[in-house]
Amino acid sequence: MRAFAHADEALHDPQFFLMRGRLRANFEVPARAASLRAGLVALGVAPDAPPPATRADAARLHDQGYLDFLASAHAEWAALPEAGAEVVPNIHPAPEMLAQTRTTPAHIIARTGQFTADNACPIGPGTWAASLSALGCALAAADAVAAGGAAYALCRPPGHHAYAARAGGHCYINNSALAAQRLRDAGAKRVAVLDIDSHHGNGTQGIFWERKDVLTVSVHADPARYYPWYVGFAGETGAGENLNLPLPFGTGDTEWLAAIATGIARIRAFSADALVVALGFDASEHEPLAAVRVTSDGFARAAVAISALSLPTAICQEGGYAVDHLGPLLHAFLGAWR
């Protein structure tokens, strides 16, 4: 299997993270990519380094004003008096505010609140370059499989929580969504995104909410107790095609694989002719938060089941924060892919 990774993804090195009122070290760290690379090496796969994506590539699904913000936010922030090291929101516009004004403020603090969903997406000096490098990997994987087969994109930062005009949950540019769009643009008439990260793929759902040509399926821990808290519940559909399969806390291999089988059946019924797998390893039993408790064998069995669809498949890395386990889990998943 071909794989894609870029050294510049390490330029994103976020520090800020707030958990239950405590300031913690951010766990979306460059060491994640090193562990995943080791998993590829163990498989005998040498990843190619594709050129970073362009801003125009990102604009295929993201808003121009949002991309302006991502590109310049850190420099604007650094010019503030007594600025912290990273861009982190301290206000978000409330619906009541937006209902009463037609002014779109230009100040960096206002735009930070506007363009972020939470404070789990700090922007540092290397975030924009890393995000374009991650997207370059996702698009290269999509291009590599347009005529068939499967390819893996080691995307960091991840992307599935990013909306068209909003960062959130460690995500800035939605790599999986843009890979799906790339497959559409290459001629696939119907594309499915199967998201097996332990968090709901809310950004991807949001981007394709009104689209009938892209089916979004997400298997994740119940948002009643877990990020992203407000979406990811069963039965959410817009004008487009969407299936959410939330699972109780502590779910193990059997129920997780059954939900994936339900998702696969929906993908078959949709008659998808290309697939994006949003691959998060935070469903692993080894995760610090461990909302779902999937074993290495469970991930291997998921790969067998998903690859049986025999669709052109771009596999995009999403979450997974038990750094030492990421390489072995990737080895298990890609090693089982048929």
Residues binding Zn ion (CB under 5 A): 197, 199, 280, 282, 319
Q: Using CB positions, name the residue nearest to Zn ion.
A: 319
User: What is the closest distance, in whole angstroms, from the C-beta atom of residue 232 to Zn ion in the complex?
Assistant: 11
User: What is the closest distance, in whole angstroms, from the C-beta atom of residue 197 to Zn ion in the complex?
Assistant: 4
User: What is the closest distance, in whole angstroms, from the C-beta atom of residue 280 to Zn ion in the complex?
Assistant: 4
* Closer by beta carbon to Zn ion, 298 or else 319: 319
d(CA 210, CA 202): 14
Cβ atoms of residues 279 and 32 within 8 Å = no
* Closer by beta carbon to Zn ion, 27 or else 77: 27
User: What is the closest distance, in whole angstroms, from the C-beta atom of residue 118 to Zn ion in the complex?
Assistant: 13
> Quick one: residue 82, left, alpha or beta (phi over 0 = left, psi -120 to 50 = alpha)?
left
User: What is the closest distance, in whole angstroms, from the C-beta atom of residue 337 to Zn ion in the complex?
Assistant: 21
Q: Which two tokens stand for residue 177?
A: 């969504």
* Closer by beta carbon to Zn ion, 86 or else 197: 197
* Closer by beta carbon to Zn ion, 168 or else 280: 280
User: Between the CA atoms of 299, 300, 305 and 311, what dihedral angle is there, to the nearest 10 degrees?
Assistant: 100
* Closer by beta carbon to Zn ion, 157 or else 328: 157
Is residue 161 among the annotated active site residues?
Answer: yes
Cβ atoms of residues 332 and 40 within 8 Å = no
Distance from chain centroid for Cα 23: 23
Q: Which of 32, 70, 50 is nearest to 136 (CA)?
A: 50
d(CA 64, CA 138): 20
φ, ψ at 176 (rounded to 5°): -65, -45
d(CA 125, CA 213): 36
d(CA 274, CA 142): 9
Helix (H, G, I), strand (E, B) or coil at 163: strand
Kindly give the residue spans of alpha helices, DSSP state H, lying in 12-104.
Answer: 30-42, 55-58, 64-78, 95-99
Q: Which two tokens stand for residue 185?
A: 């643009």
Q: How far apart are the first and last CA of the chain?
A: 10
Question: Quick count: other Cβ atoms within 10 Å of Cβ 165?
Answer: 16
User: What is the closest distance, in whole angstroms, from the C-beta atom of residue 274 to Zn ion in the complex?
Assistant: 23
Cβ atoms of residues 136 and 51 within 8 Å = yes
User: What is the closest distance, in whole angstroms, from the C-beta atom of residue 287 to Zn ion in the complex?
Assistant: 9
Residue located via tokens 């008659």? 271
Catalytic residue of the set 6, 160, 161, 331: 161
* Closer by beta carbon to Zn ion, 270 or else 333: 333
* Closer by beta carbon to Zn ion, 171 or else 257: 171
d(CA 88, CA 124): 9
Catalytic residues: 161
